[in-house]
Amino acid sequence: MKQNEFDKKVNRRNTNSLKWDIKDNEIPMWVADMDFKTAPAIIKAIEKRARHGIYGYTIIPDIWYESIINWWKNEHQFEIKKEWLQFSTGVVPAISSIVKRITNVGDNIVTLTPVYDIFFHSIENANRKTLESPLVYENGAYHIDFEDLENKLKDKKTTMMIFCNPHNPIGKIWTKEEIEKVGHLCNKYNVVVLSDEIHCDITDMDCSYVPFASVSDECLNNSIVCISASKAFNLAGIQSAAVYCANEKLRKIIVKGLNSDEVAEPNCFAIDTIVAAFNDSKDWFMNLKQYIYENKQIVKTYLKENNLPIKLVESKATYLLWLDCSLVSKNVSKFASFLREKTGLYLSDGKVYRGNGTNFVRMNIACNKTQLNKALRMLKQGVLLYKKIG
Ligand SMILES: Cc1ncc(COP(=O)(O)O)c(C=O)c1O
């Protein structure tokens, strides 16, 4: 039988990898990049570009726009117009730039917590205030507290909401109804929505995400959306993303901002990789989705069969699992450090995501099954040891 390409071990040590530049005995399953080689068509495109030997300034050709527009049309049934799109050197650079252009020093920016921690950096480094609307955690699942959200949006100092769709770290795909309500409330209180959709492609096989701007005219005309190929195709280091905005007035402001902040120009590999990803890598991507889905089932089964006192939050998107460890420890940060120190398993401490993240760890399962199974054994060993001496 042909070996599954995702089963292959790729050694990332000594490659200046943020994730893997750690001790030899450690297994990193924290930061959100994958331990899989990207799609063959992308590697080929980069090799071709590299062989050319001249790495000068790069323009953004029509094919870049077309590849994005077609991917969203085919995969997400949403039509992005060419004139809405703007290149950016990453989603985080775009968010930081947009926060500075759309809001003022001292304004509130609302987020649903727990959420991707870098949002807080983009907000607070710019001297704006994070206003958390904590998600409600009930029976192992999260939902929005719309009454609390409305109160936060109503505040005169609130001018923006950063929405994570699907939501990192809980892996939730927001429904059309939920998005419609969020969009309506933001519109009612003149709060601009910045929807970060970087995780939109990796979902379970039987479902797909709902683009924020696709839901209603209110959502379309009052949102700025960040998208990227970097999660689905493992291209974070290529530093390329896109922002789209249907509202011309808002768009003019953000385009000027992205240019003034010097985050609007591609490096010489950025265009070819995106085109190869969205135009020529669909089969690879479908196999990846299947593999990640299988990995999720492995974790679920392992936790159950081994009776570990850890609850997996049901999720339909991302390769990040959100593990409720409140029965293991009253101090999950301490447990996360203990786990790393005693077993070598390096997970993300949920505290950084705020909200009720203090009871959780986040586990990145985008790795081969041999590593995943090893990590699960380390997790079990860590729990048992922690119960004894932690
Ligand atoms: C929700 C979210 N937004 C943005 C990023 C990073 O985006 P970029 O690497 O394009 O700056 C991540 C990375 O994990 C993420 O989870």
CATH of the domain at 298: 3.90.1150.10
> What is the whole-number distance in angstroms between the Cα of residue 164 and the centre of ligand 1?
10
Asked if residue 187 and residue 82 are part of one domain, the reply reads yes
> What is the whole-number distance in angstroms between the Cα of residue 199 and the centre of ligand 1?
8
Q: Rounded to 5, what percent of the chain is helix, strand, coil?
A: 45, 15, 40
What is the rounded CA–CA span in Å between residue 163 and residue 174? 10
Please tell me if the CB atom of residue 159 comes closer than 6 angstroms to any atom of ligand 1.
no
How many Cβ atoms sit within 10 Å of the Cβ of residue 230? 22
Strand, helix or coil for residue 86: strand
Asked if residue 207 and residue 329 are part of one domain, the reply reads no
Please tell me if the CB atom of residue 131 comes closer than 6 angstroms to any atom of ligand 1.
no
Please tell me if the CB atom of residue 241 comes closer than 6 angstroms to any atom of ligand 1.
yes
Asked if residue 275 and residue 169 are part of one domain, the reply reads yes
The ligand 1 atom at the shortest distance from the C-alpha of residue 93 is: 11
Q: Is residue 47 part of a domain?
A: no
* Residue where a domain terminates, one of 280, 295, 330: 280
Q: Give kind and range of the element (H or E) at residue 3.
A: none
The DSSP code for 355 is: T
Beta strands 360-364 and 223-227 are unpaired
pLDDT tens for 192-205 read 999 999 999 999 99
The ligand 1 atom at the shortest distance from the C-alpha of residue 318 is: 16
Range of the domain at 22: 5-40+282-389
Asked if residue 245 and residue 152 are part of one domain, the reply reads yes
Q: Give kind and range of the element (H or E) at residue 149.
A: helix 146-154
Compute the residue count for the chain. 390
Q: Is residue 261 part of a domain?
A: yes
Q: How many CA atoms lie within 13 A of 196 on its CB side?
A: 28
Please tell me if the CB atom of residue 299 comes closer than 6 angstroms to any atom of ligand 1.
no
Asked if residue 76 and residue 29 are part of one domain, the reply reads no
Candidate of 116, 212, 227, 240 to mutate for ligand 1, largest count of ligand atoms within 8 Å of Cβ: 116
Asked if residue 365 and residue 272 are part of one domain, the reply reads no
pLDDT tens for 9-54 read 999 999 999 999 999 999 999 999 999 999 999 999 999 999 999 9
Q: Which residues of 261-298 are buried (b: 16+ CB within 10 A; e: fewer)?
A: bebbebeebbbbbbbbbbbbbeebbeebbebbbebbee
What is the rounded CA–CA span in Å between residue 354 and residue 333? 12
pLDDT tens for 160-190 read 999 999 999 999 999 999 999 999 999 999 9
What is the rounded CA–CA span in Å between residue 352 and residue 114? 8
Q: Is residue 191 part of a domain?
A: yes
Q: Which residues of 80-110 are buried (b: 16+ CB within 10 A; e: fewer)?
A: beeebbbbbbbbbbbbbbbbbbbbeeebbbb
Q: Is residue 46 part of a domain?
A: no
Strand, helix or coil for residue 207: coil
Q: Where are the beta strands (DSSP E) in 135-257?
A: 136-138, 141-143, 158-164, 192-196, 223-227, 241-244
What is the rounded CA–CA span in Å between residue 320 and residue 26? 19
* Residue where a domain terminates, one of 259, 280, 301: 280
Strand, helix or coil for residue 305: helix
Residues contacting residue 53 through CB under 8 Å, at least 6 positions apart: none
Tokens 């770290």 identify what position?
169
Asked if residue 306 and residue 218 are part of one domain, the reply reads no
pLDDT(1) > 90: no
Nearest CA, atom 7, ligand 1: 91
Asked if residue 346 and residue 229 are part of one domain, the reply reads no
The DSSP code for 169 is: T
pLDDT(77) > 60: yes
Beta strands 348-349 and 311-312 are unpaired
- Token digits for 87? 């290149």
The DSSP code for 269 is: T
Residue 389 confidence (pLDDT): 82
Q: pTM for this structure?
A: 0.98
Q: Is residue 130 part of a domain?
A: yes
Q: Is residue 175 part of a domain?
A: yes
pLDDT(2) > 70: no
Asked if residue 204 and residue 264 are part of one domain, the reply reads yes
Overall number of domains in the chain = 2
- Token digits for 133? 């609307």
Asked if residue 361 and residue 327 are part of one domain, the reply reads yes
Q: Prior bond to 114 cis, omega within 30?
A: yes
Residue 167 confidence (pLDDT): 98
Q: Is residue 111 part of a domain?
A: yes
Q: What is the mean pLDDT of the chain?
A: 97
The ligand 1 atom at the shortest distance from the C-alpha of residue 92 is: 11
Asked if residue 245 and residue 111 are part of one domain, the reply reads yes
Please tell me if the CB atom of residue 91 comes closer than 6 angstroms to any atom of ligand 1.
yes
Query: 336 has which bridge partners?
Result: none
| C-alpha closest to that of 236 among 203, 269, 212, 283 | 269
Asked if residue 169 and residue 102 are part of one domain, the reply reads yes
Please tell me if the CB atom of residue 360 comes closer than 6 angstroms to any atom of ligand 1.
no
Q: Where are the alpha helices (DSSP H) in 84-140?
A: 91-102, 118-124
Please tell me if the CB atom of residue 196 comes closer than 6 angstroms to any atom of ligand 1.
yes
Candidate of 122, 164, 168, 267 to mutate for ligand 1, largest count of ligand atoms within 8 Å of Cβ: 168
Q: Is residue 48 part of a domain?
A: no
* Residue where a domain terminates, one of 255, 280, 305: 280
CATH of the domain at 95: 3.40.640.10
Please tell me if the CB atom of residue 168 comes closer than 6 angstroms to any atom of ligand 1.
yes
Contact 77, 289 (CB under 8 A): no
The pLDDT confidence band at residue 390, using thresholds 50, 70 and 90, is confident
